[in-house]
Amino acid sequence: MIRSIGKTIKKIALGDADVSQQCTVGMPDPQTEIRVWLDGMRDPLDVTNNHVVACASPLTVGIGMNPEQSQRTRQSHPGLIFREYGGQQRLLARMRLQTSGSIWAGSQEMCLYQIRRCSNYCLAQHRLWAHDLYQFFVRHRAEKNPEIPMSIRGARSMNVFFICPRPVVLVSAIYGDAGNIFPMNLLGHIADGYFAFALNSYRKAAPLVERAGRVALSSIPIEQAGLVRQLGKHHRLERVNWEELPFPIMRSAAFDLPVPQFALRIREMQIEAVHKLGSHTLFFARLIRDDRLKDNLQFCMIHGIYQAWRTRQLDR
């Protein structure tokens, strides 16, 4: 009875804010549903395909810029705007940023920003606060000493970043007799021929990739999402038995790394810079080879609050 009453109170408080934290969707490559703009300068800059969530705690975003754009943001109060890509181009969320440094790889610069304020318009504000408080309570009740501590503002900001569909890839890396393959969704294109991705600093996958110095990123068809999710446990491993993987593998063209035969796209990258930012290690990499094998919808993640907004639009 107590459990039943608790569920009733939860439903009254959250309403349709009682949503999944992660939703699986199939999207083209690149996605064409959400546009992300950097504003606060003379003209807004489209960074939809030019940014990456660089660290979870403190929550940090990396954005690729040329020297002129970088200088202008330092003289302004930059922010990120999330809008529908088509249709009415409705405003879905807004963030205010604070400059926290930059990273160079060769001649390419990635500017880093932390989040000062965040507004999510996919949900009524009273429902959003109810959701924030409930998830904060659940997270701290489940983990007395969480691996990655996150404030309510940080959690809300991460939810906003996942309004923009984030592709999930499988990362393959080998160093000596250690090798691993694991899923990742904190990645982004930074400039022509350069990418960045972030890995949990407390897991064994991050130091393996740093030692290896090169990786293969395999895009995943939506049909294989459930299978790939099961490999999340590999983040805690330094090596896997390639013969016991639940799918057949083949070899990448440039680095001869094991990759899944069902891969839609294989991007092989050389690590050019590594920076530990807090909870996550940020890797800045140069693209060596890009093989597009199939044109199916790829496995992406969005937040449940945005998925609920999408559903409401379809019902109207």
Domain count, the chain: 2
Amino acid at 93: A
Residues 135 and 242 in one domain: no
Looking at the predicted structure, is the pLDDT value of residue 19 above 60?
Answer: yes
Residues 139 and 256 in one domain: no
Residue 5's pLDDT band (cuts 50, 70, 90): very low
Rounded Cα gap, residues 100 and 86, in angstroms? 32
Looking at the predicted structure, is the pLDDT value of residue 11 above 80?
Answer: no
Residues 160 and 172 in one domain: no
Residue where a domain stops, chosen among 132, 164, 196: 164
Residue where a domain stops, chosen among 129, 164, 199: 164
| Domain extent at residue 216 | 166-301
Residue 18 lies in a domain: no
Percent of the chain with pLDDT over 70: 91
Residues 177 and 253 in one domain: yes
Evaluate the omega torsion of the peptide bond into residue 44 and state whether it is cis, within 30 degrees of 0.
Answer: no
Q: What's the pLDDT tens digit per position in 118-133?
A: 999 998 888 888 887 7
Chain center to CA of 151: 18
Residue 81 lies in a domain: yes
Residues 159 and 194 in one domain: no
Q: What's the pLDDT tens digit per position in 64-112?
A: 888 777 777 776 789 999 999 988 999 999 999 999 988 888 778 899 9
Residue 22 lies in a domain: no
User: Which residue from 181, 176, 220, 227 is spatially nearest to 204, judged by alpha carbons?
Assistant: 181
Q: Evaluate whether 173 touches 223 at the Cβ level (below 8 Å).
A: no
If one counts every other C-beta atom within 10 angstroms of the C-beta of residue 26, the result is 14
CATH number at residue 42: 2.30.110
Mean pLDDT (whole number) for 286-312:
95
Mean pLDDT (whole number) for 24-43:
93
Residues 123 and 101 in one domain: yes
Residue 141's pLDDT band (cuts 50, 70, 90): low
Residue 200 lies in a domain: yes
Q: Evaluate whether 263 touches 293 at the Cβ level (below 8 Å).
A: yes
Q: State the pLDDT at residue 16.
A: 55
Residue 47 lies in a domain: yes
Residues 171 and 296 in one domain: yes
How many residues does the structure list for the chain? 316
What is the DSSP code string of 256-287? --EEETT-SEEEEEEEEEEEE-SSEEEEEEEE
Residue where a domain stops, chosen among 139, 164, 189: 164
Looking at the predicted structure, is the pLDDT value of residue 14 above 90?
Answer: no
Mean pLDDT (whole number) for 229-235:
96
Residue for token digits 């998830």? 135
**What tokens does 243 get?**
């013969």
Residue 23 lies in a domain: no
Q: How far is CA 182 from CA 95, 186, 258, in A?
A: 30, 13, 12
Residue 54 lies in a domain: yes
Cβ contacts of 83 within 8 Å, gap of 6 or more? 34, 35, 36, 37, 89, 90, 91, 92
User: Which residue from 280, 282, 254 is spatially nearest to 269, judged by alpha carbons?
Assistant: 254
Residues 160 and 188 in one domain: no
Percent of the chain with pLDDT over 90: 70
User: Which residue from 172, 151, 176, 168 is spatially nearest to 56, judged by alpha carbons?
Assistant: 151
132-140: list long-range contacts, CB under 8 Å, 24+ apart. 132/156, 134/10, 134/13, 134/14, 134/18, 135/21
The β-bridge partners of 56 are 59
Q: State the pLDDT at residue 6.
A: 47
Residue 297 is given by DSSP the state: P
CATH number at residue 278: 2.30.110.10
Residue 211 lies in a domain: yes
The whole-chain average pLDDT of the chain stands at: 90
Residue 151's pLDDT band (cuts 50, 70, 90): confident
